[in-house]
Amino acid sequence: MRRRKVTYPPPKTATKGPPPLLGANDPRNPAGRTVSINLSAVVGRSSIGLGDRVRILSGLYAGEAATVESVSGGVIPAVMVRTESGRTRRSRTIDLEPIRPGAPATDESEAPPVEA
């Protein structure tokens, strides 16, 4: 008895058409995922040092007071801070604001109003 020739079905990729045209805001479009870089972050804040009290200006802990635990130089200067709630975070020095000695830990604008 003679063996039959094996036939394979056409590949699934053969039925696909051209890729869809992606819009500018489509997350699958690599050109639409542009990033803006703050070039002033390269300068950093030289006034921030080890043990300083700072306020975080952006990110998850924005507005929270923290203490600088380590400073790392580099292209974009960064520091490791520990917030008052005990959490740590690495942040760019440009995203931190020094807290003056004797100033309250929270902004007066964020404090609840005092009833008279």
How many other β-carbons are positioned within 10 Å of the β-carbon of residue 103? 13
**For the residues 21-25, what does the mean pLDDT come to?**
71
Q: What is the pLDDT of residue 65?
A: 93
Q: pTM of the prediction?
A: 0.55
Statement: 42-100 belongs to CATH 2.60.40.10: no
Answer for the pair 83, 89: CB distance below 8 angstroms, yes or no: yes
Band of pLDDT at residue 46, cut at 50, 70 and 90: confident
- Residue 110 tokens read as 């964020």
Each residue's pLDDT tens digit, 54-99:
999 988 889 999 999 999 888 888 999 999 999 999 999 888 999 9
Answer for the pair 59, 95: CB distance below 8 angstroms, yes or no: yes
φ, ψ of residue 68 in degrees (nearest 5)? -75, 125
Answer for the pair 86, 93: CB distance below 8 angstroms, yes or no: no
Give the whole-number percent of the chain exceeding pLDDT 90: 29
